[in-house]
Copies of this chain bind each other. A is one copy, B any other.
Amino acid sequence: MASKSFYAIVSGVGPGTGRAAAVRFAQAYPVVLLARKPESYSSIVAEIKEAGGQAFGLTADATDEAAVNSAFESIKKVLPGSKLAAAVYNVNGGFARKPFLELKREELDASLDAAPKGFFTFAQKTLPLLLESVPESPHPPSLIITGATASIKGSALFGSFAAGKFALRALGQSLAREFGPKGVHVSHAIIDGVIETPRSKDLATNNGAEDGKISPDAIAETYWHLHTQHRSAFTQEIDIRPYVEKY
């Protein structure tokens, strides 16, 4: 069966969007989970296997080129002959909310490392694989990028974070225009709200409204929809926010 020989990869796995995307795509493909630490993926790998799916956790800091290269070498061993159908870049980092004159250059660097630089490495590894999959992939091979409010708005005190996210969006747009005509679907999601995670549990987002935080599973469902779009009808950019969000 065709889809048996395709896999998905999620970089930046944690308890929120990363986990949900891995679980959702695992309904169709074996999934590779990349994270900086095994703690971030091990329980999710177990969860997927429990549900009858295939999952492989690999440890790599997305900002460390050599580590990422080595992770991609490992994939060839754990999934020999399998082709890449979907890649999700969900790495966060470099979030610093503070007055500009108190920002350290390292904080800007951290944001740029996690966003454009880490994505650059990820895209250079995955795009050749996605291109190879164009002829036979069950759905157009996809590269999906997690953005944020800060991808389109440079708010006060969020300068370094927005710098990274704007840059990530720029790369996504450019790749969509270059690789779309070759059959690869590059899509950017603006996640405009607080995501429901164990860590955000006690935040009284949107005045504590029910469903006032974004369900990671709902994000993953939209990512899956993006992946399954027909190539005559690709979405490049989509916003996702709670019904009660002010914007």
A123 to B99, CA, bound (A): 13
Nearest B-chain residue to A184, judged by Cβ? B243
Partner of A112, one of B103, B116, B156, B236: B116
Are B159 and A174 in touch, CB under 8 angstroms?
yes
Chain B, Cβ-Cβ closest to A140: B243
Stretch at the interface among A8-16, A53-61, A83-91, A164-172: A164-172
Q: Which of B65, B109, B173 contacts A162 (CB 8 A)?
A: B173
Q: A27 interface residue, CB < 8 Å from B?
A: no
**In the complex, what distance in Å separates the CA atom of A82 from the CA atom of B183?**
43
Which residues in window 118-170 of A have CB below 8 A to B?
120-121, 123-124, 127-128, 140, 150, 153-160, 162-170
Asked if A177 lies at the interface with its beta carbon under 8 angstroms from chain B, I say yes
Give A189 Cβ to nearest chain B Cβ, in Å: 9
Residues on B with C-beta less than 8 A from A228 are 221
**Chain B CB within 10 A, most for which of A105, A116, A163:** A163
Q: Is the interface of A mostly helix, strand, loop or mixed?
A: helix
Chain B residues with CB under 8 A of A229: 218, 221-222
Partner of A175, one of B159, B174, B214, B236: B159
When chains A and B are docked, how far (Å) is the Cα of A244 from the Cα of B211? Answer: 33
Q: Are B243 and A232 in contact (CB under 8 A)?
A: yes
Known contacts A116-B163, A155-B177, A174-B100, A233 near B225 by CB under 8 Å? no
| Residues from chain B with Cβ under 8 Å of A215 in the complex | 230, 232-233
Beyond A156-B178, A163-B171, 5 extra complex contacts between A and B, CB < 8 Å? A150-B170, A163-B170, A221-B230, A233-B240, A236-B239
Can you show 28 pairs from A to B with CB atoms below 8 A apart? A99-B178, A100-B174, A103-B124, A108-B120, A116-B167, A150-B170, A153-B173, A154-B173, A155-B177, A157-B174, A163-B170, A165-B170, A166-B167, A180-B244, A185-B243, A211-B230, A211-B231, A215-B232, A218-B229, A218-B233, A221-B230, A221-B233, A222-B225, A222-B229, A231-B243, A234-B242, A236-B241, A238-B239
